[in-house]
Amino acid sequence: MTILITFIAGMFAGILSGLLGVGGGLILIPIMIFLLGMSQHTAQGISLLVIIPTALAGLWQLHKAKLIHYNLAFYLSLGAVLGALLSANFVHYIPADNLKRIFGIFVLFMGIRTIWSVKTKK
Amino acid sequence: MDNKIKVISFGFIAGILSGLLGIGGGIVLVPLMVTYLGITQHMAHGTSLAVIVPTALSASIVYGFNGNTNLLPALNLAVGSIIGATISAKGMKKISPGRLKTLFGIFLILVGIRMIVS
């Protein structure tokens, strides 16, 4: 049963991120916490794993469409990998409740930004 | 690409957020590229995906070492997610994105509040 719920949750996240142009993590993490009862740290770890094949699937399409600036991607990745290694190690020391609040603030901010972007386009 | 330090520090900011929040980092990368590097929206989207792959990979290895991951649900979610993304790319372009975006924004605000007060 959990497998089915997980699969449907993933599909739902995929449809939404495709329609709205947002990353999967923003949708997946709350689903894992509230629907699948996972801890904040594990939900974030799983989200990162899910992002890899999902991004790879999109990458191939965009590579064929010549929409990837590889030189720029190289230098951005240099900084990004360094930053990610640093914070992924650090996050281990943040208590789950606090990490959940930090994530909550981020989600709240993204919600306001999403509504704002609709309003300004009209 | 005259200023490599600037580009590397943009990446660094996105990487910090990715590892801290378990997200890809495209949310930060795309606007930075468009606003400060003069890259088109489409190109920025493609380039961000190329950055997200090594970033998420290195962050998830660290999460894994700290025991904060689970392969089976990840696989399950990934398969579902790719199928979902394919569906929305092919058949669901008719839905007006404006209303859906507003609903999604309200949903995010509620989730955010719920996570902050819990």
* Domain residue spans of chain B: 4-69
Of A18, A105, A109, the CB nearest to B84: A18
Residue tagged 């009862």 (tokens): A37
Query: Is B30 an interface residue toward A (CB < 8 Å)?
Result: no
Q: Which of A1, A89, A94 shows the shortest CA–CA distance to A39? A: A94
Q: What pLDDT is attached to residue B72?
A: 93
List, as own/partner pairs, every contact residues A76-79 make where C-beta atoms lie below 8 angstroms and the sequence separation is at least 24, other chains included: A76/B7, A76/B8, A76/B10, A76/B11, A76/B14, A76/B29, A76/B47, A76/B51, A77/B11, A77/B50, A77/B51, A77/B54, A77/B55, A78/B8, A78/B11, A79/B7, A79/B8, A79/B9, A79/B10, A79/B11, A79/B12, A79/B13, A79/B14, A79/B15
Q: Which of A104, A18, A62 shows the shortest CA–CA distance to B51? A: A62
Q: What pLDDT is attached to residue A45?
A: 97
| Centroid of chain to Cα B8 | 18
B81/A50 CB distance under 8 A: yes
Q: How far is B2 from chain A (nearest CA, A)?
A: 11
Query: Is B41 an interface residue toward A (CB < 8 Å)?
Result: no
Q: Predicted confidence band at A42 (pLDDT cuts at 50, 70, 90)?
A: very high
pLDDT tens for chain B, 118 residues long, are 568 999 999 999 999 999 999 999 998 999 999 999 999 988 998 999 999 999 999 999 999 999 999 999 999 999 999 998 888 777 655 566 678 888 889 999 999 999 999 7
Q: Which of A16-25, A30-39, B56-65 has the lowest mean pLDDT?
A: A16-25
How many Cβ atoms sit within 10 Å of the Cβ of residue A18?
21
Q: What pLDDT is attached to residue B61?
A: 97
Residue A71 tokens, joined: 């030189």
Q: What is the mean pLDDT of residues A30-47?
A: 95
How far is it, in rounded angstroms, from Cα A34 to Cα B100? 22
Q: What pLDDT is attached to residue B14?
A: 97
Best residue in A62, A63, A77, A97 for a mutation probing chain B (most B CBs within 10 Å): A77
Q: What pLDDT is attached to residue A59?
A: 87
Q: What pLDDT is attached to residue B1?
A: 52
Q: Predicted confidence band at A95 (pLDDT cuts at 50, 70, 90)?
A: very high
Q: How far is B114 from chain A (nearest CA, A)?
A: 8
Q: What is the mean pLDDT of residues A61-67?
A: 89
Q: Which of A63, A51, A88 shows the shortest CA–CA distance to B64? A: A88
Q: What pLDDT is attached to residue B92?
A: 56
Q: What is the mean pLDDT of residues A16-37?
A: 86
Of B11, B70, B74, the CB nearest to A83: B11
Of A23, A63, A121, the CB nearest to B26: A23
Contact between A49 and A55 under an 8 Å Cβ cutoff? The reply is no
Residue A89 tokens, joined: 């190690």
Q: Which domain holds residue A12?
A: 2-121
Q: What pLDDT is attached to residue A18?
A: 77
- On average, the pLDDT of chain A sits at 91
ipTM comes to 0.91
Q: Predicted confidence band at A111 (pLDDT cuts at 50, 70, 90)?
A: very high
Q: Predicted confidence band at A20 (pLDDT cuts at 50, 70, 90)?
A: confident
